[in-house]
Amino acid sequence: MSLLRVALPALAVVGSAYAASCSTSATTTIQNGGDASAIASCTTYSGSVAVATGVVDDIAFEGNLKAIDGDLVLESNSDIKRFGSSSLRSVSGKLTLNDVSQLAALSFPALNEVAELTLKGLPNLRTLEFNLTKADKLDIENTKLQNLDGIDLEEVSSIFIANNDDITSIEMQVTNITEFITLSFNNAEVNVSFPKLESANNISFRAIGSLNIPSLSKINSGSFGVFESDNLESVFAPNLTKIDGALVIDNNKGLKNISFASLTDVGANLQIANNTNLHQIDSFPKLENVQAALDLSGNFSKVETPSLDFVKGVFNLQSTGDIGSVCADFYDPLKSKGKLQKGKYVCKGKLEEASTAGSTPKSGSGGSDDDKKGVAVGMTVPSISLGLVGLVAVLLL
């Protein structure tokens, strides 16, 4: 049973006694609960609907309403606590709730399709009552949602979920993300699972607790990054074969294991840095080509990339641990053969401090540092702020 039906058994009927027009070329502004009831007398309402900022009534579209052919917007309202419809199935435009400080109940149990869903600035919203499977864009920021139950998208172009401190689980059955997915600074232990995801254009995960992407096979025209996830222990992408942009795994203090067993090509930088508990880089058995910089730094005791045949940019391998003879046995010969083409070449273990590309190794032994050829160009970790779509690939040539 809809939460709104329980909480709002008797909405005010002022303004609803007349038959509503079911079509308008302008945006209809709702001033009270009666206006919502009038719109709900239509099966399909053609036009956009917005709730006035000063409305104090809780708003429920209860009646015959199945579809809104336009936008449905509630924003900058400090009084409404409940908003929804038990019958509404689709919104052809945007469903937007933004800066509604008292909203505690969002109930659209029949809703399965919107063009864009935006939920922002909802500090009292803890649960959703949706049945949403289709949306082109999803944007959820600064809420108190505990999960995304009721949102299980099958089709989507972009997903942006950020600064929702209480979310413990993000799981969807989507198979293709045509633009980007960014998850950033939600609950630090959030479980992230996209078990059917096969391809995406950009993937950025920041501050997550676990990751499940078993079907991911390709990153199209973008990059893949995992950052600042102190509770994350493993990153496994067993079927990922190609990344058109960068691959960056940076500053994940709890990370112990990574595996990219099928990856053959990286179209920009490949950087693994500042992962305190990651001691082995041996899970790239098929990696052949890196089209910009290959930059590995940390406390490694084992580094293996047995199929590597080409690096177009800077090569940097720095470890505070003992990496044995891998530099002399494998990477130095690649350099001699011209397989590591341009820029500064560093391969060293047993360092006092391991740094990213462009930094001079400190107290190194057991490796090579080619300072005479190429140009030392500093490499910065690609930045993903909340306003960016994806990773920034920094080419080092």
Question: What are the tokens at 19?
Answer: 């038959």
Contact 279, 303 (CB under 8 A): no
- Over residues 126-142, mean pLDDT: 97
Whether 382 has a pLDDT exceeding 90, the answer reads no
Question: Band of the pLDDT at 19, cuts 50, 70, 90?
Answer: very low
Whether 7 has a pLDDT exceeding 90, the answer reads no
Contact 144, 166 (CB under 8 A): yes
The Cα–Cα gap between 184 and 160 comes to: 8
- Over residues 253-281, mean pLDDT: 97
The Cα–Cα gap between 225 and 272 comes to: 10
pLDDT at 363: 66
pLDDT at 213: 98
- Over residues 293-306, mean pLDDT: 97
Q: Which of 169, 203, 161, 215 is nearest to 185 (CA)?
A: 161
pLDDT at 285: 98
**CA separation, residue 259 to residues 91, 225, 228, 237 (Å):** 41, 14, 18, 6
* Paired residues of 96 in beta bridges: 73, 118
Over the chain, what is the mean pLDDT? 88
**CA separation, residue 365 to residues 128, 258, 374 (Å):** 57, 26, 21
Tokens 């209480």 belong to residue: 166
- Over residues 214-226, mean pLDDT: 96
- Greater pLDDT, 363 or 244: 244
* Phi, psi at 336, each rounded to 5°: -65, -30
Tokens 């936008």 belong to residue: 71
Coil, helix or strand for 7? Answer: helix
Q: Which of 177, 197, 187 is nearest to 140 (CA)?
A: 187
Contact 14, 38 (CB under 8 A): no
pLDDT at 368: 61
Question: Band of the pLDDT at 395, cuts 50, 70, 90?
Answer: very low
Q: Which of 236, 241, 244, 297 is nearest to 272 (CA)?
A: 297
The Cα–Cα gap between 46 and 68 comes to: 6
- Greater pLDDT, 84 or 367: 84
* Paired residues of 315 in beta bridges: 294, 345
- Greater pLDDT, 201 or 376: 201
How many other CB atoms are found less than 10 A from the CB of residue 9? 7
Q: pLDDT > 70: what percent of the chain?
A: 86
pLDDT tens-digit readout, 156-193: 999 999 999 999 999 999 999 999 999 999 999 999 99
The Cα–Cα gap between 101 and 397 comes to: 50
pLDDT at 36: 97
Question: Band of the pLDDT at 3, cuts 50, 70, 90?
Answer: very low
DSSP per residue, 249-270: EE--TT--EEE-TT--EESS-E
Q: Which of 105, 72, 65 is nearest to 91 (CA)?
A: 72
Question: Band of the pLDDT at 361, cuts 50, 70, 90?
Answer: confident
Question: Band of the pLDDT at 362, cuts 50, 70, 90?
Answer: confident
Contact 154, 175 (CB under 8 A): yes
Which segments of 185-281 are extended strands (E)? 191-193, 199-200, 203-206, 210-212, 218-219, 224-227, 234-236, 242-243, 247-250, 257-259, 265-266, 270-273, 280-281
Q: Which of 197, 145, 196 is nearest to 168 (CA)?
A: 145
Question: Band of the pLDDT at 366, cuts 50, 70, 90?
Answer: low
Contact 187, 211 (CB under 8 A): no
How many other CB atoms are found less than 10 A from the CB of residue 338? 8
pTM of the full structure:
0.88
Torsion of CA 356, 357, 362, 366, to 10 degrees: 100
Contact 127, 108 (CB under 8 A): no
Q: pLDDT > 90: what percent of the chain?
A: 82
Tokens 């082109």 belong to residue: 136
**CA separation, residue 241 to residues 83, 237, 280, 285, 395 (Å):** 45, 9, 21, 11, 21
The Cα–Cα gap between 160 and 133 comes to: 16
pLDDT at 343: 76
How many other CB atoms are found less than 10 A from the CB of residue 339? 16
Q: Burial, 86: exposed, middle or buried (Cβ in 10 Å; 0-12, 13-18, 19+)?
A: buried
Contact 300, 275 (CB under 8 A): no
- CA 252 to the chain's CA centroid: 16
